[in-house]
Structure 1
């Protein structure tokens, strides 16, 4: 059985990417998991216990419960703030409770994430691979954009993605390559497309290398 130690928890917080205003939903999920792990997330969803009444026995228990909640709220608020960039820390460190801080971040950045979704959709559909740049570098840029689709829970059929890249995004000089893929009987996925691209890149590099060697031989013969 595996046990989670304070050292492990501290290491997880250290590895958490600091929130700088982008990809809020992903950061929030990671932060939620860590706050649950250290058992302080409850202060965000549960209100602060009421002040104890007159009954002495119940009063002591209520006072302890209230004190524990206050301590956990400060720990929770501190973890959230420490998971933010210095700029955002300075902007939010005066917020008094973890719940208020959590809600303020949600109100602001979930709205911005919605705008970000529209930007990502446009970025893919208007992306055009060009000659003169590494094809694999551009392909990896497209994959990076599609990874952000997943982060925002945006669904895009893989067949449409591959067809879109082959038809409208591969370089103009790769006309023969596009035609060969378009006339395949079997559909290919994104990873298989990447494999075909790497093979085509190697073919092109080998061709250029042979051309260069041939040119050298011709010059030496002269």
Structure 2
């Protein structure tokens, strides 16, 4: 059975809100939704321009521009609706969906990559010492590992256990 756009939109609201972490996951879901709605083209196609002053516009040109404007509005609305309230307020300025999308890609893909690099570095360079309790340091290390899962970075459990054992203080 083929669903109507309003039915698809209702299901869209069930999508988890983008909180600023794992943009690639949000990107894929949003791209699928916008493709399904046949509006994703506004992220790659410039807005049709008005003809020069004094030249009569055809009805086809007017309709193309109006369709693009409507699809852009739908895209921007869905992209914004997919964000957490905090991000919604931060990114509500761009006029067009493409500007918004480019801003999100630039900011959050770069942020995801750099935060993952720091996580790996933090985990690899973590050293336990005798000045603090082993339990406290173990919990700190588990916190770093928990962030791995949050970023969908998988690490074999045997490697995690082996790494933690290697990080235990000599005592």
TM-score by length of 1: 0.58
Aligned residue pairs: how many? Answer: 158
Distance 1:84 1:123, change over 3 A: same
Counterpart of 2:74 in structure 1 is 75
Tell me the alpha carbon deviations over residues 58-88 of structure 1, each in whole angstroms, 9 at most, x when there is no partner. x110101101111111111111111112222
Distance 2:36 2:48 in 1: 22
State the structure with more CA Rg. Answer: 1
Counterpart of 2:25 in structure 1 is 26
Gaps of 5+ in 1: 133-137, 171-222
Distance 1:78 1:127 in 2: 47
1:111 offset after TM fit, Å? 1.6
Distance 2:41 2:25 in 1: 20
TM-score by length of 2: 0.72
1:5 offset after TM fit, Å? 2.9
Tell me if structure 2 keeps the 8 A contact 1:17–1:83.
yes
Distance 2:74 2:127 in 1: 44
Distance 1:88 1:31 in 2: 15
CA RMSD of aligned residues (A): 3.6
Specify which structure has the bigger relative contact order, considering alpha-carbon pairs within 8 angstroms and separated by 6 or more residues: 2
Distance 1:109 1:147 in 2: 15
Tell me the alpha carbon deviations over residues 166-209 of structure 1, each in whole angstroms, 9 at most, x when there is no partner. 43436xxxxxxxxxxxxxxxxxxxxxxxxxxxxxxxxxxxxxxx
Gaps of 5+ in 2: 129-133, 137-141, 166-171
Superposition map of 1:1-222 within 5 A: 2-52=1-51, 54=55, 59-122=58-121, 124-125=123-124, 126=126, 142=145, 145-146=148-149, 148-150=151-153, 158=156, 162=158, 164-169=159-164
Distance 1:95 1:124, change over 3 A: same
